[in-house]
Structure 1
Amino acid sequence: MGAFKAAAIQMRSGESPQRNAEDMERLVRQAAGQGATYIQTPEMTGAMVRDKHARATAFTSEDKDIIVATSRRLASELGIFLHIGSTAIVRADGKLANRALLFGPDGATLATYDKIHMFDVDLDNGESWRESAAYEPGAEAVVTEINGTKLGFAVCYDLRFPQLFRAEALAGAQVLTVPAAFTRQTGEAHWHVLLRARAIENGAYVIAAAQGGLHEDGRETYGHSLIVDPWGRIIAEVAHDAPGVIVAEIDPAQSLAARKKIPNLKNARDFTVDAGSADAPLLRGAAS
């Protein structure tokens, strides 16, 4: 379990999967040229499409998806682990999944993760989002291994649910991933502090590739892709909202060291909640 270089790619995906695949390939090659062997792209790498009728023509099944095909080819050609932060995939039942995919150096699919928590919110600047109207939520957390390092999956709004990351850390994840398309308003308020908190409270690296800028469909995302170490320090950042690449060394031994200094995962205990009524709140993400 040795150190390796990881990259987070910041994109400004538009409505054309073909153009986005070309942009992704250019940035992946740039990251690989800097020595990265694990490369992560942001949420909705394939297309940012708000209109439901346009989505019907932009998105397809996994076996026909251009982002999937391009990623397989790049992972194999460059000998890298390529993590598509997410792209919209038409499931067998016809519903859409906001799906992350990890490809190995041979181009094979090592893991998939469907975003669990749907972004259904009304912001005070007038923005309103109902992700659940378009996508079917996932129901399973995923931890997989790359060259002896365990990697936990999440996508964007999942960041606000710390029990997901705690469960993955308890399952051994030393690296937590949060590819995202955070809105500018919520990003300015919470992006940095939440990513650092997830790293600190779990003694894990956090890698978060982001979308940034004004997109073709009218939405605006925050950018500021980050890599955070297990002590909560930002070790790489795209300090703007334009496309770009950051690379940092990931040393799994640093996760172990942080957990020895602050052994909160080991010290965690299950508990019940006395709310002063017969209807006790449902516990989510118990300690063990």
Structure 2
Amino acid sequence: MELVAIQLNAGPEWPANQARLETLLRQLPPSRPLLVQLPENAVVFGGRKAAWQVAEPLGAGPVQETFSRWARELGIWLVVGSIPTRIEGSDKLHSTSLVYNDKGERVGHYHKVHLFDVEVADGHGRYQESATYASGDALCLIDSPFGRLGLSICYDVRFPELYRALREQGAEILMVPAAFTRVTGQAHWLPLLQARAIENQCYVLAAAQYGEHSGGRQTWGHSLILDPWGEIQACLPKGEGLIVAPLDPQRLARIRSQMPVAQHARLSAVWRNKA
């Protein structure tokens, strides 16, 4: 079993991004099973107008049909980092991660919980995802041949309580598709991902955007695959492409057995007793 992260330089038009993705997917290794992750904003990387132009209701539309077809034809488990999905009766969208099995069936979805409303010292300056998107309010875990997948998106990685909740519900692989800015990525991308891997004793699969984008946005790249000890199994610092690393369930089980931190955790129990 192998893990794959695809790094992309997406623009504001789906047809161009679709062509880039298809080219990269055709470069996948021949071995199966494969768990393949695309980055955040894999469909469009632009402003509110671009997101609304391509947004679909969850479970319907040509964009989602394309991802389903790719998963089925290539015989892969495909995690779409995020696409904009419509919310009935709302002027906001969800930023949604989708998971398809190797038959092309959508087996789960996750709406991004933490929205990126911050100021960054880069060419874009101020980011306000909440102007376009509504926050999700639910965890998502998916059973797969690779282990139990815990879903998240980008800015979520700064909130360790989300990942602890995923671990408590059995997560073994943490999915962190992203479009980290160059500034914040250079400072925090690797240490945040390593912390999430180490403290939860999970594999981390983190496909990223890279390069210059519309609106002055610059993303960091450095797509990563980490093991449950926090060690880098594969990294792509720059450019478009893909990285591959083997999944070793026995290593995961051994790390958890030798250092059973989940069993030793006491603060939540202490807080509950004092409440």
TM-score for both structures, normalised by structure 1: 0.88
Aligned to 1:89: 85
What is the match of residue 3 of structure 2? 6
The residue matched to 1:30 in structure 2 has which SS? coil
Alpha carbons 2:150, 2:173 under 8 Å: kept: yes
Q: Contact 2:172 / 2:203 at 8 angstroms: preserved in 1?
A: yes
SS across alignment from 2:81: strand
- Give, in whole Å, the separation in 1 of the partners of 2:21 and 2:146: 27
Any stretches of 5+ residues in structure 1 without a counterpart? 274-279, 284-288
Which residue is 1:272 aligned to? 271
What are the Cα deviations for residues 39-80 of structure 1, in whole angstroms up to 9, with x where unaligned? Answer: 000001000112x33433233334554431111001111111
CA contact (8 A) 2:9 2:212 kept: yes
Structure-2 separation of matches of 1:259 and 1:115: 28
* CA deviation map 1:175-217 (0-9, x unaligned): 1110000000000000011111110001110000000000133
CA distance 1:220–1:87, shift in 2 (3 Å): same
**Alpha-carbon deviations, 1:103-124, whole Å to 9, x = none?**
0111110100000001111124
> How many Å separate the matches in 2 of 1:21 and 1:93?
29
Q: Which residue of 1 aligns with 2:117?
A: 120
The one-letter amino acid paired with 2:21 is M
Match of 1:58 in 2: 54
Written as runs of structure 1 = structure 2, the 5 A alignment for 1:195-206 is: 195-206=193-204
8 Å Cα contact 2:82/2:153 also seen in 1 = yes
Counterpart CA distance in 1 for 2:242 and 2:50 is 29
Query: Could you state the TM-score of these two structures normalised by the residue count of structure 2?
Result: 0.92
Structure 2 residue 163 is matched with structure 1 residue 181? no
Aligned to 2:241: 244
Secondary structure in 1 matching 2:28: helix
Distance 2:168 2:56 in 1: 35
Pairing 1:99-248 to 2, within 5 Å after superposition: 99-125=96-122, 127-147=125-145, 149-240=147-238, 242-248=239-245
Q: 1:222 to 1:63 in 2, by over 3 A?
A: same
Query: In the alignment, what sits opposite 2:27?
Result: 30
SS in structure 2 at match of 1:121: strand
User: Do the aligned partners of residues 16 and 148 (structure 1) sit closer, same or farther apart at CA in structure 2, a change above 3 Å counting?
Assistant: closer
Tell me, yes or no, if the aligned pair for 2:35 and 2:146 is still in contact at 8 Å: no
Q: Distance in 1 between matches of 2:133 and 2:154?
A: 14
Deviation sequence 1:13-61 (CA, Å, 0-9, x none): 10111111121122122124465611000001000112x3343323333
AA in 2 matched with 1:98 = S
The answer (yes or no) to whether the contact 1:43–1:179 under 8 Å persists in 2 is yes
For structure 1, which segment, 87-96 or 153-162, has the greater mean C-alpha deviation from structure 2 after superposition? 87-96
* 2:49 partner SS: helix
> What amino acid is the match of 2:53?
T
Range that drifts further, 216-225 or 64-73: 64-73
Moved over 4 A (4+): none
Residues 27 and 245 in structure 1, CA contact (< 8 A), matched pair in contact too: yes
